[in-house]
Amino acid sequence: MLVIMDATIRPAVPGDADGIARTFLESAAHHAGLDPERYSVPALDLIAARYREGRQHPPHEGEDVTLVAELDGEIVGFLDARLEQSPDPMHREMTYCHIAGNRGQRPAPESRHRCPTARGR
């Protein structure tokens, strides 16, 4: 079944922190249910503060962005992405894109992609 929704994808702003945190915790609860030895559910206020204060990305040299999916004024998903150069001398000219995101009850795993169009950034 294909369901098409008119969601808006846009850069996150500090006011989105509570909606992002709610979606984040849905994902955390899902993961904790699958493997409670490995995953836990963090406190809502800690996650909201991290996004409100712009601390969601680890320190690194490169660009990063947080995008949100908004439907009828509600945050229904988010994505964190960052671009960075590989420290391996073999990959000096290669830029990697790290993506972590969540879409409601269906968590998206973090992945690492080569971004050939991001060369030279």
pLDDT attached to residue 1 = 52
pLDDT above 50 for 116: no
Residue ranges and CATH numbers for the domains of the chain are 8-118 (3.40.630.30)
Categorize the per-residue pLDDT at 119 as very low, low, confident or very high, splitting at 50, 70 and 90: very low
For 95-117, b where at least 16 C-beta lie within 10 A, e where not — what string?
bbbbebbbbeeebeeeeeeebee
- Greater confidence (39 vs 59) lies with 39
> Tell me: the pLDDT tens digits for 14-55?
999 999 999 999 999 999 999 999 999 999 999 999 999 999
Distance CA 64, CA 111 (A): 15
What pTM does this model have? 0.71
pLDDT attached to residue 90 = 74
Residue 51 and residue 17 in contact, taking contact as beta carbons nearer than 8 Å: yes
- Greater confidence (62 vs 42) lies with 42
Categorize the per-residue pLDDT at 84 as very low, low, confident or very high, splitting at 50, 70 and 90: confident
